[in-house]
Amino acid sequence: MLDDISGPRDLDALTPEELRMLAAEIREFLIAEVAKTGGHLGPNLGVVELTIALHRVFDSPRDPIVFDTGHQSYVHKMLTGRKDFSRLRQRGGIAGYPQRSESEHDIVESSHASSSLSWADGISRAFARRAQADPSQRDRHVVAVVGDGALTGGMTWEALNNITDDNDRNLVIVVNDNGRSYAPTIGGMARFLNSVRTTSSYRDLQESSEKLFSAFGAPGRTVYSAARGAMRGIASRASGNQDLYSNLDIKYLGPIDGHDLVAVETALRQARSYGRPTLVHVITEKGRGYAPALNDTADQFHAIGRIHPGSGEPVQSAEGRSWTGVFRDRLVELAESDERIVGITAAMLAPTGLDGLAERFPDRVYDVGIAEQHAVTSAAGLAYGGLHPVVAIYATFMNRALDQLLMDVALHRAGVTFVLDRAGLTGPDGPSHNGVWDLAMLQIVPGIRIAAPRDAASLGQLLAEAVRVEDAPTVIRYPKGPVGDDIPALRRTDDGVDVLRERGDGSDEEPDEGPGDVLFVTVGPMARIALDAAELLERDGISSTVVDPRWVIPVAGSVVELARGHRLVVSIEDGIRVGGIGTRIRQALRDAGVDTAVSELGTPDEFPEHASRDELLEQAGLTAERIAADVAPRVRDV
């Protein structure tokens, strides 16, 4: 049946039984296709019926559907004409999140959680305003699909506060409640929703539905659904779950079995008819219909690599140890001997590597939910109380908490270590997850110290150094993926800069007298590329020195002195060039009266699309061959 669906209106004529068959086909398709490429499997298996119902009740894109985070939009893509998943999250293929360039049905591209209600608030206000002059606009609706995990984010509640301030709008909020964000949702809101899920009234509704369907098939489900509105009211009153939302002055419908297509559609049509902001509470099962996902207690196949579809086992890769894994193990080692170390995560315990610390010291890790701002200020408080917090988050999520880092941590000279996973060009997750802004953004913070390890050994060393700093924020950033082999240093300067290659042949002998040609100053894993570029330049008669500052901010004095002895400095980073580390080096040289020319290499000031890390590096000109070709004529011109 899926072959016959090219757009949402193709769903309109299908019978309940045909819709059930379509849902089964969609799940089979998702398992088969995502297994080949990797991606967000569990969340999409959980929203099949919900997405079908949304597109039957609402007229997308005239009625915009805003997906919070957007990782659960695969079914939406399929129902809006995008069924070629052969290159999912790969260059030239469809994105793993909504993307406007793909379809008019995709509204919000940002894949950061808790923002959908603010988007929906703004869109619905615009529609209401336009309807004052154009009556044809009055029947337009806005739908926000938000997970229960996103309700842990403060931005959601800021939006709810404003949404309920003006009720004359067609706005429907669908809470997709599966008890999880990436992992199980935490906090008071999670406990409240769990009480709704487990109330005897709701369980009775589920059991009655299944018994009727087993006995009578689709007609039994239809008869049951017709009486379900009254039964839902009884369940709601019994559990008291309307109280929270009635206090916010928002209409509440639920809880609804999110896998009962008729029930979900009935509730959505009811919400559509109200003409005021309405919340529909839908309970779903992450990984629905796929046993390996349901049996995965960690994250129910939230995001997977390539797997064998039958067993769910990962396809073996020769990539080796990951950056996250190195951090995980080293943090536990440090915590063993330093009781001050505690961890903070924003709903990303395993993805950031804090799960190791949580297993070893369960009472020394705090999961604050999707609340990065709170995490950072809470860390300042922990530091004031005599602990050393390690805040582990994705690099792009650090953007959300810049004010807290600046005013709560740095201003108060708090000893907090930030570990930024997925920094730099990360690849297939696209613009919202490529962490190219952290170096430019964070170096403006007074007193901050930023480290970029080049390999596993330096990551372990730098983490140990960072947690000893008690009077300033420290940052350690590294990319996604395998860490690779260690890169040994020839020597280390007195202020901690590693010299990886001396100008000349790269041996550890004393360099020749006189100025060198090129000084490469590398940021983290870009050291490998610089060493390869230096080798290529050597064949062309151009000598190079390659250094890894380790701590890239502040700029070390030895970097300045080394620059004084070379004709050209080339900085290489996988972050944006605008305001990046190269800019800071140029300023340091100017302040010291060093007139050596500086070439700043990095990514352009644009949003990197989804592609592999290597493809994105090549696109940015950050390959050894390209760098050597660009540097050679510059050296000759100096």
Q: Report whether 412 belongs to an annotated binding site.
A: no
Number of residues written out for the chain: 638
From 20, 286, 364, 567, active-site residue:
286
Q: Report whether 113 belongs to an annotated binding site.
A: yes
DSSP 410: I
Q: In this structure, are residues 288 and 27 in contact, taking their beta carbons and an 8 Å threshold?
A: yes
Q: Report whether 556 belongs to an annotated binding site.
A: no
**Chain-centre distance for alpha carbon 217:** 41
Q: In this structure, are residues 481 and 613 in contact, taking their beta carbons and an 8 Å threshold?
A: yes
Short-list 248, 250, 291, CA closest to 274? 250
Residue type, 221: R
Rounded distance between C-alpha atoms, residue 616 and residue 84, angstroms: 23
Rounded distance between C-alpha atoms, residue 328 and residue 146, angstroms: 30
* Tokens found for residue 607: 């949003």
Neighbour-count burial for 232-246, b at 16+ CB within 10 Å, e otherwise: beebbeebebbeebe
DSSP 253: E
Strand order from edge to edge, sheet including 474-477: 365-367, 341-345, 388-394, 417-421, 474-477, 449-451, 551-553
Q: Report whether 372 belongs to an annotated binding site.
A: yes
Short-list 614, 513, 511, 621, CA closest to 570? 621
Q: What does each C-alpha distance from 411 to 84, 293, 444 come to in angstroms?
A: 51, 45, 12
Residue type, 90: Q
* Tokens found for residue 298: 């960690």
Strand order from edge to edge, sheet including 142-147: 65-67, 142-147, 171-177, 278-283, 251-257
Q: Report whether 247 belongs to an annotated binding site.
A: no
From 33, 49, 372, 502, active-site residue:
372
Strand order from edge to edge, sheet including 516-522: 491-492, 498-501, 544-548, 516-522, 566-576, 597-603
Q: In this structure, are residues 602 and 88 in contact, taking their beta carbons and an 8 Å threshold?
A: no
513 is catalytic: no
Short-list 511, 546, 508, CA closest to 624? 546
Q: In this structure, are residues 421 and 355 in contact, taking their beta carbons and an 8 Å threshold?
A: no
From 20, 328, 400, 613, active-site residue:
400
Q: Report whether 274 belongs to an annotated binding site.
A: no
The C-alpha angle 601, 607, 610, rounded to 5 degrees, equals 105
286 is catalytic: yes
Q: Report whether 148 belongs to an annotated binding site.
A: yes
Rounded distance between C-alpha atoms, residue 622 and residue 638, angstroms: 22
Short-list 468, 444, 461, 542, CA closest to 498? 461
Q: Report whether 24 belongs to an annotated binding site.
A: no
- Give the chain's end-to-end CA distance (angstroms, integer): 67
Q: Report whether 111 belongs to an annotated binding site.
A: yes
Q: Report whether 374 belongs to an annotated binding site.
A: no
Give the residue numbers marked as catalytic.
286, 372, 400
Known binding-site positions: 71, 111-113, 148-150, 178, 290, 372
Binding residues for Mg(2+): 148, 178
Query: Per the annotation, where are the binding residues for thiamine diphosphate?
Result: 71, 111-113, 149-150, 178, 290, 372
